Amino acid sequence: MPNTLPQISFGTDGWRAIIAQEYTFQNVQACALAVALELEASNQTHRGVAVGYDTRFQSQAFAQTAAETIANRGIPVQLSDRPLPTPALSLAVTNMNAAAGVMITASHNPPEYNGFKVKSEAGGSAPPDQVERIEAHLESVPFAKRKGTRTSEASSQGMPGDGRPEENIQTTNMVTPYLDQLSSLVDIDTIKSAGIKVAVDSMHGSGAGIIATLLKGGKSQVTEIRSEINPAFPGMKQPEPVDDNLHPLIDLIKNQDFDVGLATDGDADRLGVVAENGTYLTTLEVFSMLFHHLKSRRNLPGGAACTITMSSMMDRLAEHHKTDLYRTPVGFKFVGPAMIDNACVLGGEESGGYAFAGHIPERDGPLSALYFLESIAKSGKTPTQLLKEIHQITGPHTFRRIDIQFTPDQRDRIASTLAGPAPTTLGNLKVLNEDRRDGLRLDLSDNAWAVTRLSGTEPLLRIYAEAPTEAQRDAILKDFRAHLSV
């Protein structure tokens, strides 16, 4: 029968939509069936699928629906027994040698959203060719609309299978193996004995308790805020660890004696850092600091892979450490493969997602936090001093991103402007080079740059700029907005 489902399109990292509008049990079933059909087409069904979920509204129920739909095809499913970080689900895929993973999460999106992420057999974001095959199966998913939401009967309607999905589903603890993995990668004993006072903001997401559990019993102390489950994510626009959403953490550090503040997003694959003086460190600064730590204090081999929106400080640091830097379009479906292909020690993107060699080729917020704590413990320096250490190599850099919401009828005009001629100057700085792999990146004089692109997950136009001074940076943003007429 013809597909009458709303258009489901996998963006930068999976499919996301507003709960009860397009994000329904029926559409989650459709996505899960498309994953199952892809495994059948590639003869990988025997390897099974790992399924996990975050703390969003009805995430557990949506995960159960996805698991039943896949298991109904006779495919074995390992289903998490609790909300968990997305990187823990990704690690479970590799531990069980599964053919794929499914994570029910909308990551950092506003609370009214939920999502459906697909993980590759390597534990990273599904690469573009795999996503294209899954979307192709969606076009032909046979689906009879029923009132039942998530029963086995509803899952099997129009989906040939054995009709007994419960026999193919095993509930599994995926968190303990994840904690063991983190302990094996980072010098936990050094962090625990360093006496660091750490404030952790889990933003009501699935990273709650991870860092506190790993550092328990040492001289370092962990204080958690917003660690209880609350799918409304009160007090923030969305559970994204950026300065506008971290006022409780920033205020806590300013008013009490903490050495660092660490925040993870809704599904704990991203990290935000607040310095000891209450200053929010940009994601570009944190990525550069982590890279320098891994190269200078850990002496680990390999370069770095990052998106076109990552800091030009990375170019200077790569030169300093005599290694290579590989730039990709935005999205870990590009960064992860670049990490693997080039044996990189680190991969990352401007959104605060960082991945590390020896782990999964995917963003990991708690692991990023632990490596940051390791840099404090091993150096004996404060976050502010660690940033100064970077600027002594790269020179001063200041970064800002602005997000501009648009309506559907504005999208074509914005896209047309993006595809048109680029400006020749921004903020009185000359445009030296343009890169159109993902939106438009302009390299400017004075080691400045700017990027504008349409978000792959929300109706937003993002404009990024980095320059030696705040005045230059803001002038670049102003001129770019004028060019785009937004």
pLDDT at site 153: 39
Phi/psi at 36 (nearest 5 deg)? Answer: -60, -45
SS3 154: helix
Q: How far is CA 359 from the centre of its chain?
A: 15
pLDDT at site 220: 98
Task: Give me the sheet containing 271-274, strands edge to edge.
Answer: 221-225, 197-201, 260-264, 271-274, 280-281
Q: Which residues of the chain have pLDDT under 70?
A: 1-6, 12, 142-165
Q: Which residues contact 110 (CB under 8 A, 6 or more apart)?
A: 233, 237, 238
Task: Give, in order, the Cα–Cα distances in Å from 16 to each of 114, 142, 147, 195, 260.
Answer: 6, 21, 22, 41, 32
pLDDT at site 127: 87
pLDDT at site 6: 55
pLDDT at site 152: 40
Strand partners, 199: 223, 261
The DSSP call for residue 96 is T
Q: Of 162, 169, 171, 170, which Cα lies nearest the Cα of 72?
A: 162
pLDDT at site 154: 39
Look up the pTM and report it.
0.91
Q: Where are the alpha helices (DSSP H) in 103-218?
A: 128-139, 152-156, 175-185, 188-193, 210-214
Q: Residues for the chain: how many in total? A: 486
pLDDT at site 262: 98
What is the set of domains in the chain, with CATH numbers?
Answer: 15-174 (3.40.120.10), 195-394 (3.40.120.10), 398-484 (3.30.310.50)
pLDDT at site 142: 67
pLDDT at site 145: 36
pLDDT at site 146: 33
Residue corresponding to tokens 């009501």: 204
Task: Give me the sheet containing 113-119, strands edge to edge.
Answer: 15-18, 113-119, 100-104, 49-53, 77-80, 169-172
Q: What angle do CA 362, 365, 367 make, to 5 degrees?
A: 85
196 neighbors 215 (Cβ within 8 angstroms):
no
Q: How far apart are the first and last CA of the chain?
A: 43
Question: How far is it between the farthest Cα atoms of the chain?
Answer: 67
User: Which pair of structure tokens corresponds to residue 19?
Assistant: 């709960």
CA distance 323 to 301: 9
Q: How far is CA 410 from the centre of its chain?
A: 27
pLDDT at site 143: 59
CA distance 22 to 2: 18
Q: Which residues contact 12 (CB under 8 A, 6 or more apart)?
A: 330, 331, 333, 455, 456, 457
pLDDT at site 66: 97
Helix (H) or strand (E) holding 435: strand 429-435
The DSSP call for residue 408 is G
Task: Give, in order, the Cα–Cα distances in Å from 241 to each of 266, 351, 365, 371.
Answer: 9, 9, 10, 17
Q: What angle do CA 341, 102, 357 make, to 5 degrees?
A: 30
pLDDT in tens, 411-447: 889 999 999 999 999 999 999 999 999 999 999 999 9
